[in-house]
Structure 1
């Protein structure tokens, strides 16, 4: 078999890349080790930046998102017994976020690729990468796929990044001393917008997936296990952290899913080696506080699509050569914003009274200064795409 671009991973990055390349007349094959059902069901991020929304609409895969997604024009920072709204419509006019689950984006992209005759293969075993320096190829399940370029979109634990020779990559990472307990509940949201709350008990986030399904996160110890958190304890802790302002009552209901997510920051540089180009979680991880993971993957794919189009249409390698440098500018901005949001809202060491006072001081600044609030809003809705 032969194709122009071999893509490893059928998450948002791999599927969107395949679809955008298809729109430019460039062939690809997507290889995914999981089943289609697994890929479409796994719950991940749900906050889409303005640029991500625009990209999906422009690519012709945003119809259901436009119909079912929940546009938000602000978020609430809740601390010290009061809530403070960061109003996107005033601070960054014309830009907002849309709440639409990552699994729904994946469903839309799979449907679009298959309806267009795209080659997306699920439950593929033993994917391996070869010949990155000159003539790359992939092997899987006893078959061989020759290609001009390989795109590694297979996440943090995939095979793409480890295929780069030792000593080429420089890795930057940080582990946080806590994790997030994520809950998906069959209960209408208790707020029209996301609530980020900082308390002495720890951080909590009130989010949503639809008018009837809510998403919550609790800061928990890094070694926490799901079985330590029965439903009654989860609701009690959410109430303790979220019902901190007068008149607010948290609605409770059936918990459908729960899981513990470690908090880490990770960047591997460069995001390319030979004919291999990394995108999304294969190259970088951000803590979910800033809602940047999926959006960074889309940003990578946009850059890579233009670089590959220039290569296949004109024979130019300039954009491919500069792919990593172009992506990393946005990656590091998102890394800083995610780290900042995380350190601003989470409880660290219990005896760190100095750190807690710094947190409260900066929260006061963000909620009272239009300049500071604009910086938060601009980064949250997503910086404009580079030319």
Structure 2
């Protein structure tokens, strides 16, 4: 194969695909990126870790079609260090790849393309489109609550499912995304896209979510989504991301969403978050506990640390129920407040031991549940 690519184009494409490749691999071919120069004037880049595959097509001047595989991280590092604006000539033959740009010349070992595993061939039964901005919002408002505990592998992703939600105008078909680590829950509800009616319930793995979010920054229009019970594919125009789904059952999270929390506290999320951040400066790494004493129209935030001392701050709020105290993990609380875009947040409380519901208002797409801590 022989092709010439502009350095910026090559670098951008490689930056997307190389992040899928694990740094340590027992199977050498999985450290490589597949380069497939096609007669139509495109270069296809592909990388996989056997669970996730990314396939990106970039423009190139192809003199000789052909395909090979080469170390993804090495090629990316070379492209990064080549002079800006340079034209990169890539030639591969007989187990070697030569890269020439300006006065720089590199020769790398290659592995045959036939050894490269492809996890993602064929059509998937459920197909629909989602605006890129909607997909971004779904990810941003839920991914912080994804569990990182490998033992509860079925919580290591975002759960997507369709439902009919009762509303003022009768049942509305919706698509829901949820993530939880057992301490907090984040759920986003959006209108169900056409084509998603018979979609199976799926859990999209954490690594796929992270790679997809990076790619979405460069997409303006809609993203094509196709899925089966075991795989999901995102068509982002130049790039196609395919992932295996988590083979497990997501718990029935609707049972932990409180419906009878009758104490309503309304706050400015920014000043509340800054207050939590300030007092938690002295909280120990292990507990991160912050106590909230809720009284009529004021909240006193406090932290007591045996090693560091005490901290307290009063935050204004709108509250008319009985005074009481409740404790939260400060980091979890700030993660949720960080997602609130408006200038008002509703905190629905019951008692010091019951889950707390947090949302902007009853119309907002996102809803959060936080388990309290003993303080």
TM-score surpassing 0.5? no
TM bucket by the smaller chain? under 0.3
**Length-normalised TM-score, structure 2:** 0.23
TM-score by length of 1: 0.22
Q: Comparing both structures, which one devotes a greater share of its residues to helix?
A: 1
Give the strand-richer structure, 1 or 2. Answer: 2
Quick check: which has more Rg, 1 or 2? 2
